[in-house]
Structure 1
């Protein structure tokens, strides 16, 4: 496993990790990753049908994503820190889903680590048409690397459309298909000092 990227206050984790690819990101995504920010807006949450929906709702509950099919709002506070890239998502002002992305190595062979409980994701990045697209490289349960055929698949991206931050996350499970999707179009907000 590559060592964590060294943090230098004169540099930015995302900029340093992506190297020349950073310039291919849309300027608003560049600014978001250099300075951090707060995004807000409506979000759609969709679950699979039948057993897929049951699994999706259980997964959503573990992640802090609302399990009710209703209009929802999302606030996302993104901030680079000495320990990694923080993404603190708050659905409806009460459901929290916090992530810390820790870089390993450098683009293109490097990846980011995201850990939720015992599940550890190794995520690569592709910059496509100015957007950031996550690529799942490996999933571990504790120290056990899961075989590729049984991996949950996550399709996730963020991009800029008409000045707004459009994102989508879709999680599918082998044999069940898509169990949970959440997506939205968020606007940049001023960042209160208390966030």
Structure 2
């Protein structure tokens, strides 16, 4: 496992959260300090989009389009400047790229660029959607997705829950599960 030093090269998440980073469970801190190329495994449960238009949007974003559960393989390529997350769900592979923009996490996911603020609430890392551009166009407030994205941890497991719904379309993406943090398989 490659973990960046606490003071030399802070992770994107450490830089956004500042002092409140230390309020996160150890497993969440450990996950967000991983650097280089790391492969983690775990378990995931996915939900299908709730309508045909939601399935089409899920296709554009690269999110899972079928309900199911099974093993999850997660590849992380992380540096102090950017992170690439590749999630190998049982029925789909989803890749997103994160970077720091104006003190926020910006995630590129398919045709979308999402901007998130981070907070720590009752031992949970919460990602709060603050902006969205789809195919380069800003999303109007009335159409802004409602997103739940949170992480918590216990022992050597990172637990996550993500759900995104769009007004009039319903659920576009929803999945939850965990990643096992130890032993971590690292490669160069």
Aligned-pair RMSD on alpha carbons?
2.5
Q: 2:132 aligns with which of 127, 139, 159?
A: 139
Equivalent position SS for 2:22:
helix
CA contact (8 A) 1:78 1:87 kept: yes
C-alpha spacing 1:58/1:144, structure 2 compared with 1 (3 Å): closer
Shift in Å, 1:28: 1.6
CA contact (8 A) 1:32 1:78 kept: no
Q: Deviations over 1:35-57 (max 9, x none)?
A: 24543222111125xxx332343
How many equivalent residue pairs?
A: 178
- Please identify which structure carries the higher strand content: 2
Shift in Å, 1:185: 2.4
Structure 1 stretches lacking a partner, 5+ long = 1-8
User: Is it true that 1:98 corresponds to 2:91 in the alignment?
Assistant: no
C-alpha spacing 1:38/1:158, structure 2 compared with 1 (3 Å): farther
C-alpha spacing 1:58/1:162, structure 2 compared with 1 (3 Å): farther
Inter-partner Cα distance in structure 1 for 2:120 and 2:176: 19
Structure 2 stretches lacking a partner, 5+ long = 1-6
Shift in Å, 1:75: 1.5
Q: Which residue pairs with 1:191 in the alignment?
A: 185
User: Is it true that 1:84 corresponds to 2:77 in the alignment?
Assistant: no
TM-score, scaled relative to structure 1: 0.77
TM-score, scaled relative to structure 2: 0.80
Shift in Å, 1:24: 1.2
Equivalent position SS for 2:127:
strand
**Which region of structure 1 is more displaced relative to structure 2, 28-37 or 96-105?**
28-37
Q: Deviations over 1:77-125 (max 9, x none)?
A: 2342143122121123x732111111123xxxx3111123442111111
Q: Deviations over 1:114-154 (max 9, x none)?
A: 12344211111111122211100011134432221111222
Inter-partner Cα distance in structure 1 for 2:175 and 2:164: 9
User: Is it true that 1:156 corresponds to 2:149 in the alignment?
Assistant: yes
